[in-house]
Amino acid sequence: MTKCPICDNGKLKSGEIEETMFGIYLGKFPAEICDRCGESFTSEEMTKKIEMIAKEKGIWGLGIKTKVAKTGNSLAIRIPKNIAKFLHLKEGRDVFIHPEKDKFVIETI
């Protein structure tokens, strides 16, 4: 049994994880799971399979770093074209924005 490299206290045990990315379900995959902190580790082969599924669903690489800009008295964040396309956003569309701890959420209406 292998020691967990994250918490350094738990032991890794074979199990199965459900993987999602950006709220899209990718499937269930075999993994080693820490019995203490719950961190999971997939094999290189499974990681590549998860990546391939995400690419097939068009969600691989959607996360991106961007800058906050000032426009008048407000702040603005540019939404990259691939994210706008994924969310079906168009100019003039209403969205609902709200804060959560350490982040904010933009929901399409």
* Pair 91, 50 in one domain: no
CATH number at residue 44: 3.10.20.860
Cβ-based neighbour number of residue 39 at 10 Å? 15
Structure tokens, 83: 């994210």
The reply to whether 32 falls in a domain is yes
* Pair 6, 51 in one domain: yes
Maximum pairwise Cα distance, the chain: 59
* Pair 7, 51 in one domain: yes
* Pair 45, 8 in one domain: yes
Structural domains in the chain (count): 2
Structure tokens, 66: 């961007």
Phi-psi region of 55 (alpha: psi -120 to 50; beta: other; left: phi over 0): alpha
The reply to whether 7 falls in a domain is yes
* Pair 48, 84 in one domain: no
Q: Would the pLDDT of 1 be above 80? A: no
* Pair 14, 38 in one domain: yes
pLDDT tens profile 38-82: 999 999 999 999 999 999 999 999 999 999 999 999 999 999 999
Q: How far apart are CA 4 and CA 23, in angstroms?
A: 27
